[in-house]
């Protein structure tokens, strides 16, 4: 995610049409064979860790030695899944209570900011925008020490509500950027003008004209914020604990022991990853389009 604008719409699904027909030079059969061989090879490499996770998670304790660790299980068992679920279940539910509000609230904030910054040029808008963007890149360690002190001083119990607040605040820059780029490229000036002629002010225009056409922008920010809240570990370890923290903390507790139960940790890693993977596979098409648009000047 970067600061550049774009002329492509923020969430337009990426064209999947083959481009070969459009290119000037014909490709040789050998060239094509090499290309497909490489594509397959990399598919294999990328999927290898997924294979290990799945295979190991279905093995029984006695099969998890050094020998044959790449083989399929001789006896498939879901015992490790049950064990992992028993220890992850409370935090699994809790993490939805974290990620869903974060996704909704930061997207709404981002939409409002993005709209204002894409249309209303106030004095110093560039500087304000740059200062917002810098917030996207800061290492969170640079704010974490006082943040934790505030939380303990005020006596806010560590846990999910604190994390919701923190993720919303530090999600403002990225959501603002995504919506700013989206509005800058997809909302025609005439639409705003038409609203103005009808006497709609900025708030009215935003509410009745802009929000209804913002769905593609929302898809991107919702996925982005849901995923980053779900997968976050740094804020979680600073501002919560195993009893009230999100699932990354629980998974680390399950997998981080000196001699970890590999089958259970791998089942746990899969359980932990399922929600973001499902979101990603269902909405990925728009997500990829948005990712590209959010970061590429074209």
The residue written with tokens 């409370």 in the block is: 90
Give me the least distance between CB of 229 and other proteins, in Å please: 11
Show contacts with other proteins in window 228-287 (CB under 8 A). 230-234, 237, 248, 251-252, 255-256, 262, 265-266, 268-270, 272-273, 276-277, 279-281, 284-285
Asked whether position 213 contacts other proteins by CB under 8 A, the answer is no
Give me the sign of the Cα torsion angle 5, 9, 15, 21: negative
**Among residue numbers 166 through 195, which ones bind other proteins (CB under 8 A)?**
169-170, 172-173, 176
Residue 137 binds to other proteins (criterion: CB under 8 A)? yes
Task: Report the 10 Å Cβ neighbour count for 130.
Answer: 10
Binding of other proteins at residue 49 (CB under 8 A)?
Answer: yes
- The answer to whether residue 135 forms part of the interface with other proteins (CB under 8 A) is yes
Residues shown for the chain: 298
Using CB under 8 A, count the residues that bind other proteins: 105
- The rounded distance, in Å, linking the Cα atoms of 103 and 233 is 17
Shortest distance, CB of residue 47 to other proteins, whole angstroms? 6
Does position 145 interact with other proteins (CB under 8 A)? The reply is: yes
> Is 1 among the residues that bind other proteins (CB under 8 A)?
yes
Rule CB under 8 A: choose which of 76, 78, 93, 134 binds other proteins. 134
Q: Which two tokens stand for residue 167?
A: 């993720």
What is the DSSP secondary-structure string of 34-61?
HHHHHHHHHHHHHHHHHHHHHHHHTS-G
Minimum distance of other proteins from residue 186's CB (angstroms) = 16
Cα 289 versus chain centre, distance: 14
Cα 220 from Cα 8, distance rounded (Å): 14
Is there a contact between 169 and 242 (Cβ–Cβ < 8 Å)?
no
Asked if 298 interacts with other proteins (CB under 8 A), we say yes
Cα gap 208→211, rounded to integer Å? 6
Residue from 122, 153, 155, 188 binding other proteins (CB under 8 A): 122
Stretch that binds other proteins, among 49-57, 75-83, 153-161, 209-217 (CB under 8 A): 49-57
> Does residue 105 touch other proteins according to CB under 8 A?
no
Assess 153 for contact with other proteins (CB under 8 A). no
Report which DSSP code applies to 66: S
Among the listed residues 64, 81, 88, 95, the one whose alpha carbon sits nearest the alpha carbon of residue 253:
88
Percent helix, strand and coil across the chain, each to the nearest 5: 75, 0, 25
The CB-of-125 to other proteins minimum distance in angstroms stands at 10
Closest distance of CB 171 from other proteins, Å: 10
With contact defined as beta carbons under 8 Å apart, do 8 and 286 qualify?
A: no
As measured in angstroms, the least distance from the Cβ of 284 to other proteins is 6
Taking CB under 8 A as the binding criterion, the range among 75-83, 85-93, 134-142, 213-221 that sits at the site for other proteins is 134-142
């Amino acid at each position: 995610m970067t600061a550049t604008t774009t002329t492509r719409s923020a969430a337009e699904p990426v064209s999947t049409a083959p481009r070969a027909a459009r290119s000037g030079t014909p490709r040789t059969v050998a060239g094509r064979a090499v290309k497909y061989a490489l594509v397959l090879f990399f598919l294999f490499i990328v999927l290898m860790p997924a294979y290990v996770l799945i295979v190991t998670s279905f093995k029984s304790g006695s099969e998890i030695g050094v020998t044959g660790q790449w083989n399929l299980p001789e006896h498939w068992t879901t015992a490790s899944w049950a064990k992992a679920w028993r220890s992850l279940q409370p935090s699994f539910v809790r993490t939805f209570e974290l990620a869903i509000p974060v996704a909704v609230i930061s997207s709404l904030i981002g939409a409002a900011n993005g709209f204002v910054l894409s249309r209303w040029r106030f004095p110093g808008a560039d500087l304000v925008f740059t200062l917002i963007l810098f917030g996207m890149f800061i290492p969170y360690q640079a704010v974490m020490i006082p943040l934790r002190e505030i939380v303990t001083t005020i006596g806010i119990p560590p846990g999910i509500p604190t994390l919701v607040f923190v993720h919303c605040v530090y999600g403002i820059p990225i959501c603002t950027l995504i919506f700013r780029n989206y509005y800058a490229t997809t909302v025609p000036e005439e639409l705003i003008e038409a609203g103005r002629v009808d006497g709609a002010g900025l708030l009215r225009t935003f509410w009745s004209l802009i929000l209804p056409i913002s769905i593609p922008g929302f898809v991107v920010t919702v996925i982005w914020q849901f995923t980053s809240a779900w997968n976050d570990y740094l804020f979680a370890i600073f501002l919560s604990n195993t009893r009230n923290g999100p699932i990354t903390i629980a998974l680390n507790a399950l997998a981080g022991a000196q001699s970890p139960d590999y089958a259970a940790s791998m089942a746990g890693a899969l359980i932990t990853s399922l929600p973001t993977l499902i979101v990603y596979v269902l909405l990925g098409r728009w997500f990829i389009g948005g990712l590209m648009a959010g970061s590429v000047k074209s």
